Amino acid sequence: MRHQYRTLSEAEKQQMQRIKDLGAEFIDALHEIGGTAPAGEAMGSRDLSLAKTHAEDAVMRAVRHITA
């Protein structure tokens, strides 16, 4: 566990923002195909819920790589 964080470069900040934007875009697409509201937490099926969870995990892990 880190107790101190390092300062990110501008390139790293841009990479992190891009990853988060791509994740949000993917989750919005899941809501679209599931027929649910993007602002809501409910998904159209268990499979879409799992896809969302894995997308969130993927974004978190990519960000952790960038900020490590």
What residue ranges do the domains of the chain occupy?
10-67
pLDDT at 1: 64
pLDDT at 13: 97
Q: Which long-range contacts (CB under 8 A, 24 or more apart) does 55-64 make?
A: 55/23, 55/26, 55/27, 55/30, 56/23, 56/27, 58/23, 59/19, 59/20, 59/22, 59/23, 62/19, 63/16, 63/19, 63/20
pTM for this structure? 0.87
pLDDT at 2: 67
pLDDT at 49: 94
Assign 39 a pLDDT band (cuts: 50, 70, 90): confident
Assign 5 a pLDDT band (cuts: 50, 70, 90): confident
Name the one residue in this structure whose structure tokens are 């994740």: 23
